[in-house]
Amino acid sequence: MKHIFVINPAAGKENAFDKLCARLAAGEFTADYEIYRTQGPGDATSYIRALCKEHPEQDYRFYACGGDGTLNEVVSGAVGFANASVGCYPCGSGNDFVKYYGGSERFLDLAAHADAEEEKIDVIQIGDRYAINAVHFGFDSCVAQTMERVRRKAIIGGSNAYRTGVLVGLFKGMKNKCRVTVDGELLNPAGTILLCTIANGQYVGGSYRCAPRSQNNDGLLEVCLVHPVSRLKFISLVKYYTEGTHLDNPKFDKVLVYRRGKEVEVEAPEGFVFSLDGELVYRNKFTVRVLPGALRFAVPKQK
């Protein structure tokens, strides 16, 4: 197997490229490896696809070195290739997917990656796009748009970018027009939502456990739709959403609709935006599907 570290120098508040290269040069990773430095958005996906097509006989493991956006690009390149697996070195401003496995610590241990065990996990598909963690929209889209603007700014950016986005969302994103259908069932006949999350992982926004029951290898999407509520009610409910206790909380009985399914259809007005692993995509009609066991994901052993 060839191990290739795909490093996004633009990820996170600081450039992690030099720091990671120094750790690799010091011998913390014991297997043979190569380094690929991405040149811009979409480059990681193109590079991985081209390499896997050119050498179908060679088994590769590509390590996404960055945040959720970098992981998304690496996954999008590897999906569909039997000779490709994906690992993760989470050094971005958002590292939500690895929280499914308990957090970043085990993935930051370079030595543990060499003999990491591979698991077959599901992948989310939206047309010609893919996601490994979550697709979300409504209030969350407003949050994501704000995060994109402030992520490298002091105090309000970095790990606080999501909280900044929430504050802006309280003024701009409380009621959003769209219709959400899961496996043929319309979840919101009124045609409005506060937010909707379609998840494979469990966390969004750094610390919000939106899908606490999610299993990334069960062949199902976790769909959590919240109807519009007042700002005061929203504020009173946020802590439960953060903790991941909202699905069993009676305070959400008339507010939340939760389903598991294989296909989600969304229809909305022109200009509608959704977040795909943190990246904003503008599309007013789209279908979200699950691809069961479509990716080999390397998980370092817990020490």
**Annotated domain spans of the chain:** 2-115, 134-291
Dist CA 71 CA 86 (whole Å): 9
Query: In the chain, where does DSSP find H-type helix?
Result: 17-25, 43-54, 68-78, 110-113, 139-150, 161-172, 231-243
250 Cβ contact list (under 8 Å, min separation 6):
none
**What pLDDT, on the 0 to 100 scale, is given for residue 119?**
97
Q: What's the CATH code, domain 134-291?
A: 2.60.200.40
pLDDT class of 78 with cuts at 50, 70, 90: very high
For residues 144-163, average pLDDT:
76
Percentage of residues in the chain having pLDDT higher than 70: 98
The string of pLDDT tens digits covering residues 169-186 is: 888 889 999 999 999 999
Does pLDDT of 94 surpass 90? no
Give the distance, in angstroms, between the CA of residue 44 and the centroid of all CA atoms in the same chain. Answer: 16
| Least reliable range by pLDDT among 17-26, 83-92, 250-259 | 17-26
Does pLDDT of 216 surpass 90? yes
Higher pLDDT pick, 60 / 208 = 60
Does pLDDT of 128 surpass 70? yes
**What pLDDT, on the 0 to 100 scale, is given for residue 181?**
98
CB pairs under 8 A, 24+ apart, for 269-272? 269/177, 269/178, 272/137, 272/178
For residues 45-63, average pLDDT:
98
Does pLDDT of 153 surpass 70? yes
pLDDT class of 149 with cuts at 50, 70, 90: confident
| Least reliable range by pLDDT among 64-73, 152-161, 219-228 | 152-161
Do the Cβ atoms of 200 and 72 come closer than 8 Å?
no
Give me the chain's average pLDDT, please.
Answer: 92
**2-115 and 134-291 in the same fold:** no
Do the Cβ atoms of 213 and 200 come closer than 8 Å?
no
268: three-class secondary structure by DSSP? coil
Does pLDDT of 189 surpass 80? yes
Q: What's the CATH code, domain 2-115?
A: 3.40.50.10330
